[in-house]
Structure 1
């Protein structure tokens, strides 16, 4: 039942890549909090803090697509190495500015935007290398380990970052982030060359974003991985309503809202920790449909409960279901896609993962204002279940997808 560590034991390259990503992700999460705290200290404006997200979102979406095309054109190891070095250098810039007492919001916004651009270029390159380092049967375990990295970093990083800033200041947090990137740089440095494997007749043709989108249009199983995720993240994503329901439903305050935000992350982490059985599942499409439907049901039930601990339990169940869905979606995307298309489809994956929750926040907030938080949350969860059911009826072959004979 516990997480399968086979990928870490069998591949030194993957082990270094995973450790480097885990350490650097923790540093990035620390920096993200430190930047938000510093912007608020300079401006005293929550709106200015909110702009940090905008300056991060736009480069992630724009460069996510083009980063995938670049990863399908050039050596992915070199691309990962250059962008990791760029992220390290940007953390050094923040640290130097903090040590020098140069506190300017425009500098923080600029660095955040450049960091997002580097991440959008780094992620498709790094993720598309994993199927070259591991056999197909180990991909679910590797993606489960990756989900643990993301979730634990998101949970632990801000807590550690808050302590570091509180005791030693912003410069310490930024300096620690710069140091942690050396782990990612070392992991990339030790990898072999990772040039994309071209399909017959492609030669050295430069990869095109449009070609990637055309390919996606002809591959219903891969396309369904994005559709199902959008059902959950757009229709049933109640995060924007947590501050309101913390007060209205549970009589709490900001701490209560923080507990609601943390509950899905705890469930997601537990889903990764107890992921040992993932490798025995071959019907990945069916697993995705069931887990996304489980997310919708858990969110719908959360909208009906008025007990805080019971509500957090169902949010944790939703987070666990999301981990299961993410692992099998990522595995299908890696296994059923030709190597010379993996970067571009990973770029689309970034856009969906980043953009979907933002659309979900907007939809949930709009529906709640027009009706009530209960209608927005419970109705959104039920809409997710219905939408997934309709997709399953439309593309019946998705539920029959077999990992032993992957078909895009």
Structure 2
């Protein structure tokens, strides 16, 4: 049986691969990112393990997050300006080379007789700084590599890549480290960086849309003013912040596993959200037929909060895992449509700075969430911390829907910002491709 559009109903749920087929450069970026992410998981697993072995202190391991947060935030803001001033391909390539050099240093430290502790913290901080510089350029490249009407599908494919790697790579890293040691993990990371660099060199230059006309502080201020003038954009940042600060309870998982008498399921608690995002990304074909993106952002935030609160009210481990997977799937939906709003409606000359602000929110939210969850759990208990976080996320989505009607009404078929960006792409960018789906 086929639908009126000629596509089988099942195929309409599968991810839209039009960006992959239409853009060679997008295929290279997608593959490069998948390879890099795979190797990075090995290093992100090895560094805390080395610190734990050397110190035996949970506080020493937790300090890695503090070391990473500040450079990510500071360099992310500068990276956003750099993405709008420099060739984005060059920025991504240069930072990838520097990250490969860090892998060499970590490898040398691992194979020496007694690995030193300070290089692990230094490498974590430097890697966070480099990723803060790289991420805005990497995100701002995508709207220049695929036709404007394929940006929703491109975001879904990028998210699918993250979901697959995020689910499979930690288990592989654990096996490799347990059997071959941390040195092998760093060697694998270095090899993936070399492959990624080779792929990135084949991408065409992605030069800035305009020459820099003001000093650095002026560029930062211009980007912030642009976002502040658009309540729909402000709303996307706030929904994301609420979801990560209130309903991302990873800090509670070890204690939740003990409370459920299911210590064996700790790994499943950590991977449940990734499993949900993988299912959502693998059935993302419907996203190209939705146009009220702001509404989906708000509804997904409400569902994340509801699922997290439901996890606090259940007593069985499998029910908790199901709720966490549902929250992960809902978070993916919100991320997909947030990215669609950003990519389709923000002018190219401001896209890097907007990505820098995204990175700031994305880094602050989980850090604040761990602090909130840990403090409430210590005072009121694990279930109370989980329940209040979910309800706060749900309430925030409702308040934002009422306070920011521009986000609720956002429709990419009629939004003037989308029309302006589409017109600019037709004039300056690559040729437009056919629409990815029928109107919804």
TM-score tier (shorter):
over 0.9
Aligned to 2:14: 2
Q: How does 1:73-84 map onto structure 2 within 5 Å?
A: 73-84=85-96
Paired with 1:374 and 1:330, the residues of 2 have a C-alpha distance of: 32
Match of 1:109 among 99, 111, 121: 121
Query: Does the alignment pair 1:310 with 2:322?
Result: no
Corresponding residue for residue 402 of structure 1:
411
Using the size of structure 2 for normalisation, the TM-score is 0.88
Distance (Å, rounded) in 1 between the aligned partners of 2:38 and 2:231: 36
The whole-number CA distance in structure 1 between the counterparts of 2:177 and 2:249 is 30
- Deviation of the 1:68 alpha carbon: 0.6
Q: Determine if the alignment matches structure 1 residue 228 to structure 2 residue 207.
A: no
1:41-92 per-residue CA deviation (whole Å, 9 max, x = no partner) reads: 2222222221222222221111111111111111111111100111111111
Per the alignment, do residues 139 and 294 of structure 1 end up closer, same or farther by CA in structure 2, a change over 3 Å counting?
same
Q: Provide the C-alpha distance between the structure 2 equivalents of 1:203 and 1:100, rounded to a whole number of angstroms.
A: 46
Distance 1:122 1:377 in 2: 34
Hey, what's the Cα distance between the residues in 2 that align with 1:28 and 1:245?
A: 28
Higher mean C-alpha deviation, range 226-235 or range 370-379 = 370-379
Partner residue in 2 for 1:17: 29
Alignment-derived partner of residue 349 in structure 1: 358
Is the 2:244–2:365 Cα contact (8 Å) retained in structure 1?
yes
Query: Which residue is 1:128 aligned to?
Result: 140
Partner of 1:197: 209
Verify: 1:377 aligned to 2:386, yes or no: yes
Change (3 A) 1:73 1:28: same
Query: Residue deviations 1:122-150, cap 9 Å, x none?
Result: 11101101000111221122111222222
Residues 124-180 of structure 1: per-residue CA shift (max 9 Å, x gap) = 101101000111221122111222222332332222222222222222111111110
**SS of aligned partner of 2:365:** helix
When the two structures are superposed, what TM-score results if normalisation uses the length of structure 1? 0.95
2:336 is paired with a residue whose SS is helix
Counterpart of 2:374 in structure 1 is: 365
Q: Report which stretch shifted further, 257-266 or 320-329.
A: 257-266
CA contact (8 A) 1:21 1:183 kept: no
Quick check: 2:85–2:212 contact (8 Å CA) kept in 1? no
Alignment match, 1:241: 252
Measure the CA separation in 1 of the matches of 2:377 and 2:57: 25
CA distance in 2, matches of 1:74, 1:406: 29
Query: Match of 2:328?
Result: 319
Matches within 5 A, 1:382-397: 382-397=391-406
Q: How many residues align?
A: 403
Identify the match of residue 279 of structure 2 among 240, 246, 270: 270
Matched position secondary structure for 1:306: coil
In structure 2, C-alpha distance between the alignment counterparts of 1:235 and 1:154, rounded to whole Å: 22
Counterparts of 2:253 and 2:221, CA distance in 1: 38
Residue pair 1:73, 1:206 contacting (<8 A) in 2 also = no
CA distance in 1, matches of 2:187, 2:415: 44
Question: Counterpart of 1:142?
Answer: 154
Instruction: Give the distance between the partners of 2:304 and 2:349, measured in 1 at CA.
Output: 33
What SS is found at the alignment partner of 1:192? coil
- Give the equivalent residue in structure 2 for 1:32: 44
Residue 217 of structure 1: aligned partner: 228
Partner of 1:171: 183
What's the offset of the Cα at 1:203? 5.8
Contact residue 304 and residue 378 of structure 1 kept, 8 A: yes
Q: Provide the C-alpha distance between the structure 1 equivalents of 2:82 and 2:326, rounded to a whole number of angstroms.
A: 37
* Contact 2:262/2:317 (<8 A) preserved: no
Task: Point out where structure 1 has 5 or more consecutive residues left out of the alignment.
Answer: none
Cα distance in 2, alignment partners of residues 319 and 165 from structure 1: 27
1:44 counterpart residue number: 56
